[in-house]
Amino acid sequence: MSTVARRVPTASAARRPGVVLQPAVARAFGSGVRQVVAAVRPTLGPTPRLVAAAKPFGGSPELLDSGGAVARRIVALPDAAADVGAMYARSVIWRTHEEAGDGTATTAVIFQAVYEAGARWVAAGGDPQALRTHLGRASDLVLGALTAMSVPLRGKARFTQAALAACADWELACLLGEIFDVVGGEGQVDVRGAPGRGSDREYVDGMHWPGGVQSALFVADSPDRRAVLEDAGLLITDLDLTDPGDVRGIVARARAAGLRGLVVVAQRLSDRAIGALTASQDPPGFRAIAVKTPGTGERARFVAMEDLALLTGGRVVARAAGDRVDDARDDWFGRARIAWADRDHFGVVGGRGDPRQLRRRVARLRSALQEERDDERGTALRNRLAKLLGGSATLWVGGASPTEAAARKANATRTVAVLRGIVVGGVVPGGGAAFLDCREALDAAAAASADAAERAALLLVARALEEPTRTIAANAGAEPGAVLAGIAEAGRGAGYDARNGRVVRMADAGVVDSTAVAKTAARAAIAGAAQALTIAALVQHRSPAIATQPA
């Protein structure tokens, strides 16, 4: 078990201003990189070792098995110059976490190998700017090779193996393998905490959104605190409903339309409006409830309402259009075979929207998702697609303690993101095998080049791509050199299965990695190292003392 202590400057270690020049820059910067990567390295592979991160105010340390989480816990090193290298490495690693959700330890070990080999070449008289340019070409060759060897993933068993490679938790991997086989890559998957040690899954027909009932009165008479309405109409609006007369009018129109239930989807209802709605449960067989508008933020809420209206064949009663609820006509109501709501969510099953309009909306969202480069907007588009396509699952994650449960939930959430990337981008041989197979393209390009800087860049990247396999072998207690020799003898597609301690054909053994994650890790590591190699000076500012204990 490795330990990472959070180091913060104290009064005695307050930094002094100054400028650090080469060759001291390379020594100090490299020292910081080595310390961060050494802390992250144990988390790589299917047999990761935990990293203990001490808390600044005492107490039990955090036990971490994610390279991104480990790097983020390192907030400062006592040596100011080394700290620059440490924080730079930290940012490279965390960028991979934010973009791919996984692959942080892979990024770390490749980044260190490229940086250290490049620093030696520059120290021997090489041009760092020329090296940086050619490292960009090497990165392109690696990404092209990974794309060429990528294949799609199908079936429960394959999804389970991919999930296991991502989370190293057999129970979670089995559940997620089944979930993705059932709901598909575009299905909605929610990860929630569960009481107790175990984990389980639940499949939900139709679509559901966060945003439960407006008042506990709507579920007070249900033992499971859940309202279920059959043959329901939905009035969807961004207006606040405060007048009980408006609510009574909506209920009257719903009854006149022959609906057996009514769901009012609105941002806010006044207490008097809620009272009017709860009083409308007569005659027997008719039920009315109100739920909160889904989404956070005005734009997200309106998009969610538009999608819900499309699914159910209704329309949004919108403030911007000058609509009023007392003008509502029968065709303004959405319709669903079943609508349900509890304290936290509501959903519909069997929405009566126009299938052609739904297909057009789905096609537009898929096209937008392919072109989207922003992670947050991409996630929002995927969530909208999942709801429109229907089919959703909830993964309930437990643990032996609250700390373990929280860690497993975070692990499951990260793995869901990895599996979604696999559905879109496919998989490559796992355990570092894909990176080893990229060396062939780099070696061929180096042999054909007459430029010394280009050859150096290509060859040092080829050597750096061995680091994931070397690290996985070392973490499993094997001798990296012997493992690489065995892989070389076995040929392309072979790698080290650390769980069984054998060199195998990785794809045949079900050991695969997300192509998207592998490409993100390689790109971030090489680009980060290339830029770091051009740093010629460090400028240090005085920093105030920071106490680690409360006064």
AA letter at 7: R
pLDDT at 3 over 50: no
DSSP character for 213?
A: B
Q: Averaged over 208-217, what is the pLDDT?
A: 86
Instruction: Kindly report the average pLDDT of the chain as a whole number.
Output: 86
pLDDT over 90, % of the chain? 41
Confidence category of residue 441, pLDDT binned at 50, 70, 90: very high
**DSSP string for 18-59:** EEEETTHHHHHHHHHHHHHHHHHGGG-SSSPPPEEEE-TT-S
**Sign of CA pseudo-dihedral 197, 201, 204, 208:** positive
223 preceded by a cis bond (ω within 30 of 0): no
pLDDT in tens, 516-532: 899 999 999 999 999 99
pLDDT at 20 over 90: no
SS (H, E, C) 492-528: CCEEEECCCCEEEECCCCCCEEEHHHHHHHHHHHHHH
- Do 323 and 297 contact (CB within 8 A), yes or no? no
Bridge partners (DSSP) of residue 292 are 266
Per-residue pLDDT at 91: 93
Q: CB atoms < 10 A from the CB of 501, how many?
A: 13
Per-residue pLDDT at 5: 42
Per-residue pLDDT at 454: 96
Structure-model confidence comparison of residues 200 and 11, the more confident one: 200
Per-residue pLDDT at 4: 45
Q: What phi and psi values does residue 295 have, to the nearest 5 degrees?
A: 95, 160
CA 91, CA 301: separation in Å to the nearest integer?
33
- The pair of structure tokens assigned to 118 is 């490049």
Q: Averaged over 334-341, what is the pLDDT?
A: 92
* b (16+ CB within 10 A) / e for 420-445: bbbbbbbbbbbbbbbbbbbbebbeeb
Domains of the chain and any CATH numbers = 2-148+432-470+515-540 (1.10.560.10), 208-353 (3.50.7.10)
Give CA 375 to chain center in angstroms: 9
CA 506, CA 430: separation in Å to the nearest integer?
6
pLDDT at 386 over 90: no
Per-residue pLDDT at 521: 95
Q: What are the strands of the beta sheet with 188-193, ordered from one edge? A: 188-193, 392-397, 200-204
Lowest pLDDT segment from 9-18, 187-196, 207-216, 370-379: 9-18
- The pair of structure tokens assigned to 316 is 């949004």
CA 466, CA 514: separation in Å to the nearest integer?
18
DSSP character for 280?
A: G
pLDDT in tens, 23-79: 888 888 999 999 999 999 999 988 767 788 887 777 777 777 788 888 888 888 888
Give CA 164 to chain center in angstroms: 16
Per-residue pLDDT at 282: 62
pLDDT at 551 over 50: no
Q: Averaged over 312-327, what is the pLDDT?
A: 87
CA 516, CA 513: separation in Å to the nearest integer?
9
Most confident of 109-118, 159-168, 493-502: 109-118
pLDDT at 280 over 80: no
pLDDT at 387 over 90: no
CA 252, CA 172: separation in Å to the nearest integer?
49
Give Cβ neighbours of residue 271 (< 8 Å, ≥ 6 apart): none
- The pair of structure tokens assigned to 268 is 């806010």
Confidence category of residue 469, pLDDT binned at 50, 70, 90: very high
Per-residue pLDDT at 283: 60
Per-residue pLDDT at 378: 78
pLDDT in tens, 138-185: 999 999 999 999 998 888 888 998 888 888 889 999 999 998 888 877
CA 59, CA 4: separation in Å to the nearest integer?
14
pLDDT at 250 over 70: yes
Per-residue pLDDT at 548: 47
